[in-house]
Amino acid sequence: MKNVAFLTLGLVLVLGAGFVFVRPSARSSPEALSNLPEIEVKSTLEYSLNQALLHDPASRLLAVVLNFEGDSSGNELVNHYHLFSQAEKGFFTINPLHNFSIEDIDPSSLGLDLTLEPIDADLIQIWPSAALAIANNNGGANFSQEGDFKIDLLLTKPEEEVLAWYITYRHLEKGLFKIAVNALSGTVLK
């Protein structure tokens, strides 16, 4: 059985009313990028949404970001955060890899457009594992198999566009490859 990609996204366990987040440090095989456990991503996002509402009841989810780095020995999730807007205070992130820490932030420092529409997490049908599989089948695999590479996934809804995973592959020797996958249908966007 293929190594299920727990990556450093971690194992999320819901025990009664408690929530435990464990972050293994082992690297996974390159194929494992497309096997992110959907239940863990959903649970992590749900917990972040709850933390955001405690921080500011008017907050709204604007983006989900996952950053991977890899080489011939495998890949590793190096960053994962959720971007939220606040009614009057600006923007903040919640990072599941750092005990769900909350940090005020300027989205332009992340290279994000300030005209993002709020995301309804209940509408997401395509999660990172499926988005990466689709991207890999449409050219991305060439950029994540050998040598040093980075993969960035950004789930967001730019104004008047569809909710989508914007995936960027950066390979030291092969260059840059970008693809967008509709988060509702799984179709590749042009």
| 82-126 pLDDT tens trace | 989 877 678 899 988 888 889 998 877 777 666 788 999 999 999
Give exposure, 14-28, as e/b (b: 16+ Cβ within 10 Å): eeeeebebebeeebb
For Cα atoms 136, 72, 3, give the angle at the middle one, nearest 5 degrees: 65
**Dist. CA 135–CA 144, nearest whole Å:** 11
**Dist. CA 34–CA 4, nearest whole Å:** 9
Domain count, the chain: 1
For Cα atoms 115, 86, 82, give the angle at the middle one, nearest 5 degrees: 75
Q: Is residue 170 part of a domain?
A: yes
Q: Is residue 5 part of a domain?
A: no
Q: Is residue 37 part of a domain?
A: yes
What pLDDT shows up at residue 13? 20
Which residue range is the domain that position 152 belongs to?
Answer: 11-189
Q: Is residue 28 part of a domain?
A: yes
Q: Is residue 79 part of a domain?
A: yes
Average pLDDT, integer, range 49-75: 85
Sign of the alpha-carbon dihedral angle for 15, 9, 37, 7: negative
The pLDDT tens digits for 133-184 are: 999 999 988 887 777 888 899 999 988 889 999 999 988 888 899 999 999 9
Q: Is residue 3 part of a domain?
A: no
**Which residues on neighbouring strands pair with residue 151, listed in sequence order?**
68, 169
Q: Is residue 131 part of a domain?
A: yes
Sign of the alpha-carbon dihedral angle for 15, 19, 22, 28: positive
What does the DSSP 8-state code read for residue 98? Answer: G
Q: Is residue 1 part of a domain?
A: no
Q: Other CB atoms closer than 10 Å to residue 89's CB: what's the count?
A: 12
